[in-house]
Amino acid sequence: MRLLVTGGCGFIGSHFIHLALEKDSSIEIINLDKLTYAGRLENVEDLKNNSRYKFVKGDILDHGLMAKLAKEIDIIVHFAAETHVDRSIISAGEFAKTDVLGTQTLLESALAAGHKRFFHISTDEVYGSREKGFFKEEDNLAPNSPYSASKAGAELMVRAYEHTYGLSSTITRSSNNYGPNQHPEKFIPRAITNLIRNKTIPIYGTGKNVRDWTYVRDNCEAILLLLQKNALGTYNIGMMDGKANIEIAKQLLVLTGKNESSLQYVEDRKGHDWRYAIDTKKLKALGWKPQVTLEQGLKATVDWYSANKKWWAPVVIDK
């Protein structure tokens, strides 16, 4: 099975590449990445001599390159996207361009190359927020940020190519991922790297917003399972165990030996979603279940950032 993994030098994409090559000897991978601020060659440096792996620097909006690469593989597994909500509030157009038009370029290339299937990585944020209960895959999309709207737009493009042109698809909507190699702009790595440097953790509003945190390897295990089973349709990936941001922050204080004087409450994000919550029974029916508890995952993540300052120091965010 020959894969084109887009965004494979990013956080989740690089973890998926390592897992897929480790667990399935039939898989060969071309890793396409533009190497923006969030794409790091260091994340896949250990694979450069792997005969089943090749790196190509390029942009998913490059029609010629995408058409060429699509002819060399069997299926596109599409991770590449602009993903940070705060950045999307400042620069919504870039998110629409990359996430929607970039996805359309890939779909067109897959169709032209005669692919039977397209695998798209999305997010639970496309559902929007809800006070109680859990979103199921058939629920309506109601994105509230430019980021989640761009991801919803990408999903609708995937749906259109399936309905209009017959290109079958798999879409995954995962909850918030965390783990090693995540850019420090995101909440958990930013909190950890700040605490390591004896700085405060910025907490939006009251810190009561709820997120469902999934360790990155568990997410990648689910994606690989769906790929191997040729499972079509949409699948939620998550823990079904939401925690308030302030709870996560306090766990990180304990793990780094800090106290609550390291918490700094800041002005809330515009349009901040209150709670994300997704039902994962459909995925679990295929045999998937998370292997890493939140406590285990947070400790492993703190340990990794503590041991890898050279990786994150050049890109750490102070504002």
Positions annotated as catalytic residues are: 124-125, 147
Residue 12: count other Cβ atoms within 10 Å of its Cβ: 23
Return the closest-CA partner of residue 177 out of 168, 167, 185, 188.
Answer: 188
Distance linking the first and last C-alpha atoms of the chain? 44
Residue 241's contacts (CB-CB under 8 Å, 6 or more residues apart) are 212, 294
Q: What is the maximum alpha-carbon separation in the chain?
A: 58
Whole-number Å distance between alpha carbons of 40 and 9: 5
Tokens of residue 281, six digits = 């029974």
Torsion sign over Cα 284, 235, 31, 84: negative
Whole-number Å distance between alpha carbons of 170 and 150: 18
What CA–CA distances, in Å, run from 259 to 161, 243, 266, 296? 52, 19, 18, 20
> For 288, which DSSP code?
-
